[in-house]
Structure 1
Amino acid sequence: MELTAVLLYILLGLVTIGFYFYRKNLNYWKDRGIPCAEAHPIYGSVRGIIKTRIIQDIFGELYTKYKNVGPFVGIHFFQRPAAFVVDPMLAKRILIKDFSNFPERGTYHNEEDDPLTGHLFALDGAKWKPLRQKLSPTFTSGKMKFMFPTVVNVGEQFIDVLGEMVKSEHNFDVRELCARFTTDVIGTCAFGIECNSLKDPNAEFRCWGRKALTLNRHGAFISGLIESFPKLARKLRMKIIHNEINDFFMRIVHETVELRERKNIKRNDFMDLLVELKKTKTIKLENGEVLTGLTMNEVAAQAFVFFLAGFETSSSTMSFALYELAQHEEIQNKMREEVTEVLAKHNNQLSYECIKELTYVDQVISETLRHYTIVPFLQRQAENEYIVPDNPKFIIEKGGLVIIPSSSFHHDPELYPEPNKFNPDRFSPDMVSERDSINWLAFGEGPRNCIGLRFGKMQARIGLALLIKNFKFSICEDTKIPIVYEAESFLLCPKGGINLRIEKI
C-alpha cells in the first residue's frame, strides 16, 4: 500500500508539473502583456492546419484581425509561442538590417538520423552560412548561362510533346503538364538524368516527385509536436522524411556521384559543383575563411531540396499563371505579342540575352507569385533577445520563433489595392520603384533569401514564353473557379489540378 501511494503521489506530481508548464506555455504572451491570439490546447493558433484549412487562410485572418495592434502579435504555432509579424517594416529589420540576430529558420532538421533534412533551407545559422558560401557559385549568372541551353532543350521537347497531345484532345491538367516539364529540367540539371517525364507521366522521377510532396511520415498531431519541441524531437531521433523517399534519393545520388567520379563526367550543372565539393577537403575563400568539403549525406540533402523546390515551385507558378491567362485573354495576348516581338529580334532563337527582354512575362510571373504565394510564410528564430525599436514593450526572447506571413502582405489592400484582382501592371518598373521591396516576399529577402531565385525565374520564363508562343489557353467545363486548395499541403496546392483548354496556334 505504501509503495502504491508513493507511486500515485509521484504520478500526481508529474501530472501537476506537466499541467503547470502546459498552462504557462499557453499563457506565454499574456504573461508578457503582448496582444495575442486565442490558442487551441493542441494546435495553438493554427487550428485546422493540414486538416481542413490552408495556412494562407489561417494567417490571413490573424493578419487582418491584428495588423493594427502593434509590430507583432503573439500566437502559438502548434505548442510553440511565435511572434507573428504584422508590420512590414519589422519584417524588413528581421530579414535584412538585424539579420545577424535572426540567421536561423528554427525549422526541424536532424541530419544524423534523417540525412535528407540536412539541407540549406533547414540548417541553423552556424551550419547554414558556410554551406551557403559553398553553394552560391552554382547560381551565378555565369552558371545560369551554362544551364540555359539544357532548360531550353527540355522546353522545346515540352512544346513538341504537347503539340502531339492537342491533336487528339484539348482539355488538360496544366499543373501536371508543367510538373513534368520542371521535373525533366531539374532531373537533368541536378542529377544529369534524362527523366523522360514529358513522354511518360509515370516515369520514375515524376512518380517520386509526387510522393515526396504527398507521402507524409506523420500526421498533423505528431508533426505539430516535432515543430513545437524540435530539440526534444532530435534527442528522440525522430525523422520526418518517409523511408521510401529517403531510400530512393540516397540511392540516386550515390549512383550519380559514383558514375561521375568514375568516368570523370562534367556537365556544368548543380551536381558538378556538389561532386567537386565532395572531393575538396578544404576551400579557402577570398576573405581568408577555410571551408571543408561535403559528405555524401550532405550532397544528397542539397540535391534533394534542389529537386523538390525546383520542380514544385516553378511548376505551380507556371500553372497558376496559365490559369489566370486563360481567364484574361487581353493579358495573354499582350504577353504573346511581347514574346513574338522579342524572338523576332533574335532570329526566333530563345537566347539567354533575349530572356532578359521579356519584361511583361516577368511581370506576369511576379504577379502570379503575389496572388498565389506558393510558400505562404517565412520563419526565423532569434539568436539573442530582441527589443523591437520604438516599441520596448514588444520583446522577442532568445530562441523565440518569428513568423512573417508573406501571403498576408501580398493580399493587404493597403499595399496592393484590389488584392484579389490579377494585374501584372503592379510590377511595371514604375510601380515597383514606388513600393518597398519588403512588400513582395515570394523568394524571401535578405541574406537568407532563396538561393535558386535566378534559376527558378529562368525556368518559369522559358516555359511560359514557349507555351504562350505556341498555344492558346482558355477555361473549359472542368476549370474550377475559384480554385479549391488541398488543406493537407503546406504549399499552395490546387485540389484536383488546374484543368484548361489548350489549342495549337
Structure 2
Amino acid sequence: MVFLVILTSIVCLTVTFVLWMRKRFSYWKEMGAPYEEPSFLYGNLKGVGKQDHDGQLIEKFYRKHKGRGPFVGIFFFLVPVVVPIDLELVKNILIRDFNYFHDRGLFYNEKDDPLSGHLFTLPGLRWRRIRNKLSPAFTSGKMKTIFPLIVKIARRLELKLNEISTSESQVDIKDIMARFTVDVIGTCAYGLEANSLEDGQNEFFHVGMSVFENPRHGTGFTFLLLAFREYARKLGFKTFRDEVIKFYSSTIRKVVDYRLANNIERGDFMDILIRLHVGGNEEPLTFNELLAQAFVFHSAGFETSSSTLQFCFYELACNPVIQEQTRSHINEVLGEHGGELTYEAVADMKYLDQVIAETLRLYPPAGNHIREVTQDYKVPGTDFILKKGTSVMIPIYAIQRDAEYFPNSTSFNPDNFTEENIKSRPFAAYLPFGEGPHMCIGARFAMMQVKVGLVTGLRNYKYTLSERTGRPLKLQSKFFLTNVDGGIWLNIERLK
C-alpha cells in the first residue's frame, strides 16, 4: 500500500512537472511570435559550451528566422529570451527606447564576489552613477596624455618580436599580444610595471589570462546563472575563481594604500578611482566598487584587445596582399610624421582603421550583447508586448556576418569600411562595441592600443600561417568572449 502511494505521488509529480514545462515552453507560441522549438530542460541552449560558441549558436536561429518577424523567441533553459532580427528594433533597443532596456540583466554577486559588481553588470541608477563618474577617464584628451606610455611598452614589444624572428621564427600571436596589452593596461591603469613581455612566468599575466582560459563556470552554467540570477545570488554563487578574487583584491588594495600613504598621483585610471573613493563626492565609491571597476578595466581591456590583435594578424597572414597594403600605408603615414609613432600619426592611419573594423566585424569581442526589458514594451508595428524582466540577446556576430549588409560576408575585406560603404549600410549593422548609452566606455582606449600594436608588429615584420594553426578556425565554446581553440601560430620574418 505504501509503495502504491509513493508510486502514485511520483507519477503525479512527474505529470505536473511535464505539464508545467509544456506551459513554460508555450510562451512564444501563445504570443503568436516566431520562435525556435526548445529542447527539454535546456531550452535552446543544447550544445552551448560544448560544441558552439554562443555567437555561432544564436546565428543559427537568426538565419533560420530572418524575415519572419522583427524578432525570434528562444529559451535559456525555461526562461524566454528575445533575439531581435530587424535592425530598426535593434536600434530602438540600444538608443531610441533605451529607457525600456537600460539594464543588461547579467549575473553579479557583490557580497560574495566583489569583482563581479562592475560597470558591465550593475543595473539602473548604480550603473549610471558609476558610468558618469568614470567617463572623464576616457576622453580623447586623456588618451593623448597616456599615448606615450603605450609607445614605451610598444618598444618592448618590438624587441620581443625581433628576438622571436631571429630565434624561434614562430609565435603564438595571442600570447605575445596579450603580454603587450597586459603591460599597457598595467602601466596605464595601475601604474605597475607588469613586465609580461620580459617575464614568461609573470603572475600578473597568468592570473589575468586564467580569468578567460580557466573560468570558474563554463558557458552553459553561466547562462544558467543569468537565467536564474536572483536565486543564484541568494545561494552565494560567484562569477570568478577564489584565487582570482584574492589576487586582484590584494593587488589593488596595495596600489591604493601605497598611493594614499605617499601622496602619489600619476594621472592614470587608478588616480581617478582613488579620487572618487576618498574625495569629497556626495556619494564616494566604496572600496569594492573601486576594486570591481579596476578589475574589469584590466581583465576585459587586455583580453578583448589582444583577441582583436590576434585575429587581425591572422587575417593579414591569410591575405598577404592586404598585409602588404597595410604595411605600406603605415610606413607612408609614419614618413609624413617624421618617422615617429605619435598620437597624430596613428589618428591619420585611415586604412588601418578599416583593417581593424573589418577584424571586429568578423570577430566581435562578444558574439551577443544582452539587455533586459525594464518595463513592458510594445514592439513597434506589431501587437507583441515584451514583458518586464524578459532578456534580450542582440546577435552581434550574426548581424555582422549577414550577407545582406556585407557581401561575401565571411571574407576579410577592409573595403567594407570605406566612407561610401559605411554610408550605404543600416546604422545597426556594425556594433562590436555596442551603441547608445551602454556603448563600451573603453572603446577609444582599446582602439588606440590595438593600432599601436599593429603598427609595431607590421612595419618591420612579415607574417605567414604556421602549420600549427588549424583552418578553419574553431572558436572556443567555453566562454562568451571570442577566442580560438589551439591558438593562432604564425611564422614571423623580419624585413629589415
Distance in structure 2 (CA, Å) of the matches to 1:6 and 1:478: 63
1:418 aligned partner: 408
Aligned ranges for residues 430-469 of structure 1 at < 5 Å? 430-469=420-459
Give the AA of the match of 1:438. Answer: A
Distance in structure 2 (CA, Å) of the matches to 1:478 and 1:33: 50
Structure 1 stretches lacking a partner, 5+ long = 284-291
Task: Sort the Cα spacing of 1:13 and 1:120 in 2 relative to 1 into closer, same or farther, 3 A.
Answer: farther
Distance in structure 1 (CA, Å) of the matches to 2:290 and 2:445: 19
Deviation at 1:17, TM superposition (A): 5.6
Deviation at 1:441, TM superposition (A): 0.7
Deviation at 1:221, TM superposition (A): 5.5
Pairwise CA RMSD of aligned residues? 1.9
TM-score (norm 2): 0.96
Distance in structure 2 (CA, Å) of the matches to 1:307 and 1:420: 31
1:316 to 290, 304, 307: 307
Distance in structure 1 (CA, Å) of the matches to 2:218 and 2:343: 44
CA contact (8 A) 2:469 2:488 kept: yes
Distance in structure 2 (CA, Å) of the matches to 1:318 and 1:83: 32
Aligned ranges for residues 221-300 of structure 1 at < 5 Å? 222-283=221-282, 292-300=283-291
Aligned ranges for residues 180-219 of structure 1 at < 5 Å? 180-219=179-218
Bigger mean CA deviation after superposition, 342-351 or 128-137: 342-351
Distance in structure 2 (CA, Å) of the matches to 1:263 and 1:437: 49
CA contact (8 A) 1:381 1:402 kept: yes
Distance in structure 2 (CA, Å) of the matches to 1:132 and 1:458: 21
Distance in structure 2 (CA, Å) of the matches to 1:19 and 1:252: 50
Give the AA of the match of 1:463. Answer: G
1:306 aligned partner: 297
Aligned ranges for residues 344-355 of structure 1 at < 5 Å? 344-355=335-346
Distance in structure 1 (CA, Å) of the matches to 2:4 and 2:47: 41
Distance in structure 1 (CA, Å) of the matches to 2:220 and 2:394: 23
The superposition leaves residues 477-497 of structure 1 with CA deviations (integer Å, 9 ceiling, x where unpaired) of 223221122221222111111
Distance in structure 2 (CA, Å) of the matches to 1:305 and 1:7: 52
1:286 aligned partner: none
Secondary structure in 1 matching 2:196: coil
Task: Sort the Cα spacing of 1:498 and 1:278 in 2 relative to 1 into closer, same or farther, 3 A.
Answer: same
CA contact (8 A) 2:48 2:220 kept: no
Check if 1:398 corresponds to 2:388. yes
1:358 to 349, 362, 381: 349
CA contact (8 A) 1:105 1:380 kept: yes
CA contact (8 A) 1:79 1:225 kept: no
Secondary structure in 2 matching 1:282: coil
CA contact (8 A) 2:76 2:224 kept: no
1:123 aligned partner: 122
Distance in structure 2 (CA, Å) of the matches to 1:275 and 1:16: 58
1:337 aligned partner: 328
1:287 aligned partner: none
1:481 aligned partner: 471
Secondary structure in 1 matching 2:68: coil
The superposition leaves residues 154-206 of structure 1 with CA deviations (integer Å, 9 ceiling, x where unpaired) of 01110012112211121111111111101111111122111111012221111
2:398 to 389, 408, 422: 408
The superposition leaves residues 252-276 of structure 1 with CA deviations (integer Å, 9 ceiling, x where unpaired) of 1101111111111111111111111
Distance in structure 2 (CA, Å) of the matches to 1:138 and 1:7: 64
CA contact (8 A) 1:78 1:227 kept: no
Deviation at 1:374, TM superposition (A): 2.0
Distance in structure 2 (CA, Å) of the matches to 1:14 and 1:130: 47
CA contact (8 A) 1:50 1:490 kept: no
Deviation at 1:14, TM superposition (A): 6.5
CA contact (8 A) 1:75 1:84 kept: yes
Distance in structure 2 (CA, Å) of the matches to 1:15 and 1:301: 44
Secondary structure in 2 matching 1:417: coil
Distance in structure 1 (CA, Å) of the matches to 2:288 and 2:12: 44
Deviation at 1:217, TM superposition (A): 2.5
Give the AA of the match of 2:455. Answer: A
Task: Sort the Cα spacing of 1:22 and 1:324 in 2 relative to 1 into closer, same or farther, 3 A.
Answer: same
Identity %: 42
Task: Sort the Cα spacing of 1:476 and 1:241 in 2 relative to 1 into closer, same or farther, 3 A.
Answer: closer
Deviation at 1:7, TM superposition (A): 9.2
Aligned ranges for residues 32-111 of structure 1 at < 5 Å? 32-111=31-110
CA contact (8 A) 1:173 1:500 kept: yes
Check if 1:379 corresponds to 2:370. yes
Deviation at 1:77, TM superposition (A): 2.1
Check if 1:493 corresponds to 2:477. no
CA contact (8 A) 2:433 2:439 kept: yes
Bigger mean CA deviation after superposition, 367-376 or 345-354: 345-354
Deviation at 1:13, TM superposition (A): 7.2
Give the AA of the match of 1:324. Answer: E
The superposition leaves residues 458-477 of structure 1 with CA deviations (integer Å, 9 ceiling, x where unpaired) of 00001101111121111232
Distance in structure 2 (CA, Å) of the matches to 1:312 and 1:380: 22
CA contact (8 A) 2:55 2:396 kept: no
Distance in structure 2 (CA, Å) of the matches to 1:145 and 1:224: 39
Structure 2 stretches lacking a partner, 5+ long = none
Distance in structure 2 (CA, Å) of the matches to 1:40 and 1:16: 17
Task: Sort the Cα spacing of 1:395 and 1:434 in 2 relative to 1 into closer, same or farther, 3 A.
Answer: same
Bigger mean CA deviation after superposition, 381-390 or 483-492: 483-492
Secondary structure in 2 matching 1:164: helix
Give the AA of the match of 1:342. Answer: V
CA contact (8 A) 1:79 1:224 kept: no
Task: Sort the Cα spacing of 1:18 and 1:137 in 2 relative to 1 into closer, same or farther, 3 A.
Answer: farther
Give the AA of the match of 2:444. Answer: R
Bigger mean CA deviation after superposition, 16-25 or 201-210: 16-25
CA contact (8 A) 2:55 2:366 kept: no
1:471 to 419, 439, 461: 461
TM-score (norm 1): 0.94
CA contact (8 A) 2:373 2:386 kept: yes
Task: Sort the Cα spacing of 1:434 and 1:198 in 2 relative to 1 into closer, same or farther, 3 A.
Answer: same
Equivalent pairs counted in the alignment come to 495
Secondary structure in 2 matching 1:447: helix
Distance in structure 1 (CA, Å) of the matches to 2:41 and 2:455: 47
